[in-house]
Structure 1
Amino acid sequence: MENKFYIRRAAYYETDRMGIVHHSNHIRYFEEARIDFMHKIGCDVLDLEEQGVLIPNVDAYAKYLKPVRFYDDVYIEVKLVVFNGSRMEYDYTMRFCDNDEIASTGHTTHCFVNSDFKPMSIKRTFPDFYQRLKDNMSK
C-alpha cells in the first residue's frame, strides 16, 4: 500500500453485540489515519501541541456501507480537501484489504486554536507547518 494509506486490524474489544465494529470506532479509525497522515507529511500533532497549537475536531461524519468484523484488516485513505491556515477538512475512505470493498466513508472538520482555545491561523505563526499541509492538499 502507498504511504498515503493507514492500515488497521479490527480488535475484538471494538466490536458490539452484533459482532461488528461499533459505529463510533470508525470515527476513531479516521482520527488515527489523520494523525498518521499528518505525521508522514512532517506535521506531527504532538510537535504542534508542544508548540501550543491544538487541533479540535468541530465536525465528524461517517457513512457505513459494509460491516467490519473482528480481525478484519482495513486501510484508510486520507485526503486533506480544505485548508486555509485556520481550518482544515478531511475526507476518508475505509476499504477492506482483502477485496478493496468500501466499508465506510467519512469527513471531519478541524480548526486551530492556541492553548487558551482562541482561534489562530498557522499561516503566520507556523509557516513551515502551513506549507507542508498546503502542499499535501488533494487536488
Structure 2
Amino acid sequence: MKPVVHSHRLRVRYSETDRMGVVYHTNYLNWFEVGRTEFIRHADLTYRQLEEKGVLLPLTDAAISYKKPAKYDDEVEVRTHVSEITPVRLTFSYEIVRVEDDELLVTGSTMHVFTNASFRPIRLSRTEPEVYAWLEKQHKGGE
C-alpha cells in the first residue's frame, strides 16, 4: 500500500533566491511546512483548528537532501505524505520537483510529536480519534 500523496504547487520568488538566482537552502524547509499545512487542510481541518482543539505538532527532527537547485521563477511542486504515525508521533516525507520537467530537486522528512498547549506529549488516538484515524488512513493509502 502506498500512502496518499498531496501535491501543492508554488512559484519560486526572487526573495527566496541568492545572488545566483538559486533558492536559498532554508527555504525548502519553509516549503515543507506549506506541504504539511495543505496536507492537513485536506482533512477539512486547519492547523489553527487543531491548535484550538488543544493539539500542537512541534517539530522534533528534520532531514533534507539536496539533489538539484530550484531557481528563480521555477514552478515547483511539494509532494507530501505521512511516512510514519503512532499515537504520539507523526512523520511527514517530502519531495520537491520542478514542474516543467518533473526533475527531483529535494527530498526530506520532518518528525513531530503530538502535545497539548503545555507541550506535554498526548496520545492523539485518544484526544482526537477522528483526526488520528484520518492520518492513519492517509498513511495506509486511503483505504
Q: 1:8-42: CA deviations, max 9, x gaps?
A: 11111011122211000001101101110111133
SS at match of 2:139: coil
1:100 corresponding residue in structure 2: 102
Gaps of 5+ in 1: none
Letter in 2 for 1:127: P
Q: Which runs of 4+ in 1 moved over 2 A?
A: 41-44
Rounded to whole Å, the distance in 1 between the matches of 2:8 and 2:129 is: 26
1:50 corresponding residue in structure 2: 52
Gaps of 5+ in 2: none
**Number of aligned residue pairs:** 138
2:119 corresponding residue in structure 1: 117
Which of 135, 138, 142 is matched with 1:136 structurally? 138
Rounded to whole Å, the distance in 2 between the matches of 1:10 and 1:36 is: 18
Letter in 2 for 1:26: Y
Compared CA separation, residues 138 and 16, structure 1 to 2 (3 A): farther
Rounded to whole Å, the distance in 2 between the matches of 1:16 and 1:85 is: 40
Rounded to whole Å, the distance in 1 between the matches of 2:6 and 2:114 is: 23
* 8 A contact 1:79–1:138 mirrored in 2: no
Rounded to whole Å, the distance in 1 between the matches of 2:69 and 2:39 is: 24
SS at match of 2:44: coil
Identity of aligned residues (%): 34
